[in-house]
């Protein structure tokens, strides 16, 4: 390598993050940057921020200096020169900063793929012993609420899932067509067509049910059939509405006096049961709080009765130990895979393998604060996950992931 340089850039939410550039001996530039989530679980690995006046405390100059100064001897000795497992193990001994770990772990994998003269997804496929990489079914977050939007919608993500369409380019076409149909409906109703952090529309609506009905209307208006071709998926992100003292939820309804109504977990589960009975919902993510372990098994059993995925994100945070606990409790039937939650590629892949071997569905995911690095698309294809969340078919940092899947499809013949 000719040089290894870290520096601060901004993610899609205007929050600082790290980018690392490596110039290889053959003159190739390899760049890696890491995302950041707005709705982050308390058990995710912590990022290293400066916590001073710059960028409201979110600048990452300390993390940049750590890479450029303190870790240079380590990087000169190991970066691109050892296995993924060994590098990540040594890296964890050098720093506990999640953003530093991830940017270096991914950079290392990219360098190894470059040396092997393979695209990253093929290198990851070989590393994970997957003989046939595959493109996952995308989950498009076309309507935003919760922590991802400044509106009155409680549910954080309303996604459309083209599970009844086989060909990825056609899945993307369907999502784009439905997204435009949804915009036309919002305009007709005089509603806002501004977008949230993940590119989905963020209007003020009377209820979450109205949001669901709008999506179903948009699907039909675009010429597709709900349930058969396109179904819905919801990310409730309900931890933000959970009171650890009372063990009750202030979600999703308000009383007649405008005050939030507290609900027992059983009431929340019953609410989901009615939703999936009435509407074509194939997945509910973070339906209970991240440490509400006693009630997750009941939630999952209830959802599975209707063939609806019970997806863990905040409860598992792509962490091998928390996944094993979730498996032992029968707490989830699917898991969100976010590499920045755990910090290294090897641990991410360990979680994917453990989930698959225990019958748990894998859903790779971007973050709300994204960059233009499409690494999550390569991880998703290389590890053959079932689904990929990358936001709406809107905004450059989201389209970037979907376009990368197109490149993988057209240039490498991957379906």
Three-state secondary-structure class, residue 390: coil
Q: Among residues 198, 285, 290, 404, which one is catalytic? A: 198
Measure CA 236 to chain center: 14
Q: Among residues 122, 338, 389, 401, which one is catalytic? A: 338
Q: In what order do the strands lie in the sheet with 3-10?
A: 3-10, 16-23, 29-33
Contacts for 112-119: CB closer than 8 Å, 24+ residues apart: 112/80, 112/84, 114/24, 114/28, 114/30, 115/80, 119/378, 119/408, 119/412
- Reported residue count of the chain is 415
Is 273 tagged catalytic? no
Contact in structure between 248 and 264 (CB atoms under 8 Å): yes
Handedness of CA 86, 91, 93, 99 (dihedral sign): negative
| Nearest alpha-carbon partner for 37 in 99, 89, 97, 104 | 99
Q: How much is the CA Rg of the chain, to the nearest whole Å?
A: 21
Helix pair angle (208-221, 168-188), 10° resolution: 120
Is 221 tagged catalytic? no
Positions marked catalytic: 198, 338
């Amino acid at each position: 390598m000719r040089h290894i340089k870290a520096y601060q850039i901004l993610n899609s939410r205007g929050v600082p993050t790290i980018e690392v550039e490596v110039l290889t001996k053959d003159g190739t530039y390899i760049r890696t940057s890491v995302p950041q989530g707005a709705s982050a679980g308390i058990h995710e690995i912590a990022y290293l921020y400066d916590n001073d006046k710059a960028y409201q405390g979110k600048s990452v100059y300390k993390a940049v200096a750590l890479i450029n100064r303190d870790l240079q001897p380590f990087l000169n000795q190991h970066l691109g020169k050892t296995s993924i497992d060994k590098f990540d193990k040594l890296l964890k001994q050098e720093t506990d900063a999640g953003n530093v770990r991830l940017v270096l772990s991914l950079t290392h994998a990219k360098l190894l793929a470059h040396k092997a003269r393979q695209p990253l997804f093929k290198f990851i496929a070989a590393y994970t012993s997957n003989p046939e990489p595959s493109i996952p079914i995308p989950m498009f977050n076309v309507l935003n609420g919760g922590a991802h939007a400044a509106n009155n919608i409680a549910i954080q993500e309303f996604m459309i899932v083209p599970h009844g369409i086989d060909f990825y380019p056609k899945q993307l076409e369907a999502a784009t067509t439905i997204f435009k149909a949804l915009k036309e409906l919002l305009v007709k109703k005089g509603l806002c067509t501004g977008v949230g952090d993940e590119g989905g529309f963020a209007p003020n609506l009377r209820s979450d049910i109205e949001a669901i009905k709008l999506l179903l209307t948009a699907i039909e208006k675009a010429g597709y059939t709900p349930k058969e071709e396109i179904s819905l998926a919801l990310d409730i992100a309900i931890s933000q509405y959970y009171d650890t003292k009372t063990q009750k939820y202030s979600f999703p309804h308000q009383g007649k006096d405008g005050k939030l109504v507290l609900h027992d977990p059983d009431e929340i589960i019953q609410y989901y049961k009615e939703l999936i009975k009435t509407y074509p919902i194939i997945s509910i993510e973070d339906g209970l709080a991240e440490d509400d372990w006693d009630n997750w098994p009941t939630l999952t059993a209830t959802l599975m009765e209707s063939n609806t995925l019970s997806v863990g994100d905040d409860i598992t945070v792509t962490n091998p130990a928390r996944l094993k606990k979730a498996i032992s409790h029968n707490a989830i039937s699917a898991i969100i895979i976010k590499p920045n939650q755990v910090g290294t590629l090897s641990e991410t892949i360990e979680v994917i393998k453990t989930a698959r071997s225990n019958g748990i569905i894998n859903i790779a995911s971007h973050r709300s604060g994204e960059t233009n690095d499409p690494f999550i698309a390569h991880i998703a294809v290389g590890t053959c996950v079932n689904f990929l969340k990358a936001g709406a078919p809107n905004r450059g940092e989201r389209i970037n992931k979907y376009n990368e899947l197109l490149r993988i499809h057209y240039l490498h013949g991957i379906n």
